[in-house]
Amino acid sequence: MPGFEFFGAEERKEVNDVLQTGILMRYGFDGARNGIWKSQELEKAICETFGSEYAHLTSSGTAALTTAMAALGVGAGDEVIMPAFTFVASFEAILSVGAIPVLVDVDDTLTLKPEAVKAAITPQTKCIMPVHMCGSMADLDALKAICAEHNLLLLEDACQSIGGTYKGKKLGTIGDAGTFSFDFVKTITCAEGGVVMTNNKEVLTKCDGFTDHGHDHLGVDRGADLHPFIGYNFRISELHAAVGLAQIRKLDTFLSIQKRNHTRLKNILSTVPEISFRRVPDAEGDSCTFLSWFLPTEEATRAFVTEMKAQGIMPGNFYWFDNNWHYIKKWDHLKRAKSLFPLSLDQQLSLMNLGSKDFSASDAVMGRCISTAISLLWNDEQIDAKGNKIVEVVKQVLGK
C-alpha cells in the first residue's frame, strides 16, 4: 500500500520547485510564484489518471469526506449509512457535519453488506457511504440500485483503494462523489492530503469554496472574494501537493508491483484448503494493497495470531477484529458518544444505541479475517519465505 516506500529524487525535485519560489500556498501570489501551481497540476493529473471530471484537493482524507458531505448537502438530522469495518475517519466526518452515522454489517467482501444497508434505510437516510477497504471494492451495482430506488446519495470512501477499479471505472469516480486519502501510509502519499472527486461541476465549486473559508475565488485578489456560503480551512499546501505530483506518476508502477506480489503470495496460501479469500466483486479491479484471507473459525484465527506474535512475525499481518482503529467492537469512545463538544441530541441517542446493536454477522467475518499488507519492496524470496511461514503456522494451529 505505501507509496512512501518509493520516496526519492522525483519527490525532492517537485518540492524544491516550490521551495525555490517560497510560495507555499495554493492560492494567489500570482507574480511571485513564477508559474508554479503544484496543487492545480495535481488536480489535473488526478482527473486524467482516474477519469474524474473534477477533483479538489484537501488537507486530509478525513477533510475530503467532510467536504464532500458538505458539498452534497448532508447535514443535521441526515442519516449516513456506513460499514462497521472501516477507519475511524468515516464516522468522524459524518459527525462533523452534524449528521448521524448509521453503522451496518459487512460481509465477506469486507465492505457494506447490501441487505444490511436496505434494512437500515429510514425516512432520514440521505447518503450511503461504502468504504472500499484494504484495496478492494464494495458491491457497487447493488448499492447503486439501492440509491436509485430510495433516491439516496452515494459517497465512496476510496481512501484505501487508490487505483482500484469496478467494471472498468476507477473507484472513487462512480458515486456522486468519492474521496482518496494521501496520508503517509496510503498508496500514494503527500505526507498529509486528500481529494474529492466528482463529475458534478456544482459539487466541485462548493468543495472549492468550503475548503477555503467560503471564498468564491472569483475576486481580483483574495480580499475581493465574495462568500456565497460558510466555509472552513481544509486547504492543502503546495509542498504537500508537490510530493503527490511525483507520487501519482509512479502509481502504475506501484499497482503492477502490488498485483505481482499479491498473486505470488496468494498462490502460496492457496495450497492450504482451509484458507479462503476475501470475495472481490470485480477481481480484475483489486488494487492489491492487501491480501485478505480467512481461517475456518475465530478460534483458529486467534491461535494463528498468538503463534505469529510468539514468533515475532505478526507485523505486516492485521487482525482487524481486535484493532482499536478499524472495527466497531473497540470503538468505545463512539458508542459512549465521548465528544469534547456536545453533540446534537439525535446524534447522541443514535450513538448510545450502537452499543447494544447486533453486529454478529460482521463478527463472524471479521473474527476469522487476516489482512497481509503487500510491500512494494519485497523480492520473490521474501514473498516465498513469508508465505511459507504463514502456511506453516496455519497448519500448526489447525493440527495438520
Residues that bind ligand PLP (CB under 6 A): 60-62, 86-87, 89-90, 131, 157, 159-160, 181, 183, 194
Residue whose grid cell is 482527473: 47
Least spacing, CB of residue 291 vs ligand PLP, in Å: 17
| Cβ closest to ligand PLP, residue 61 vs residue 367 | 61
**How far is Cα 74 from Cα 65, in angstroms, rounded to an integer?**
11
Helices (H) and strands (E) in the chain, counts: 14, 13
Alpha helices by DSSP H, listed for 250-371, are 251-269, 298-310, 332-335, 345-354, 360-366
C-beta of residue 159 within 8 angstroms of C-beta of residue 87? yes
Q: Nearest residue by C-beta to ligand PLP?
A: 61
CB atoms within 10 A of CB 147: 19
| DSSP string for residues in 169-184 | EETTSSSSEEEEE-BT
Smallest gap from Cβ 185 to ligand PLP, in A, equals 8
CB of 128 to ligand PLP, least distance (A): 15
Grid cell digits, residue 152:
439516496
- Beta carbons within 8 Å of 306's beta carbon, 6+ residues apart: none
Q: Which is nearer to ligand PLP, 198 or 268 (CB)?
A: 198
Q: Is 329 annotated as catalytic? A: no
Task: Tell me the sheet residues that pair with 82.
Answer: 103
Residue 111 CB, shortest distance to ligand PLP, in Å, is 10
The grid coordinates of residue 388 equal 511459507
Shortest spacing between CB 227 and ligand PLP, in angstroms: 26
What would the DSSP string read from start to end of 85-130? BS-THHHHHHHHTT-EEEEE-B-TTSSB-HHHHHHH--TTEEEE--
- Quote the DSSP letter at residue 327: B
Would you state the cell numbers that stand for residue 141, as one nine-digit string?
Answer: 451495482
The nearer residue to ligand PLP, 106 or 275, going by C-beta atoms, is 106
- The residue (of 160 and 237) whose beta carbon lies closer to ligand PLP is 160
- Least distance in Å: CB of 158 to ligand PLP? 8
Cα distance between residue 7 and residue 28, in whole Å: 29
Q: Which is nearer to ligand PLP, 37 or 320 (CB)?
A: 320
Residues 232, 101 contacting (CB under 8 angstroms): no
**Which residue in 126, 186, 329, 386 is the catalytic one?**
186
So which residues are the catalytic ones?
Answer: 186
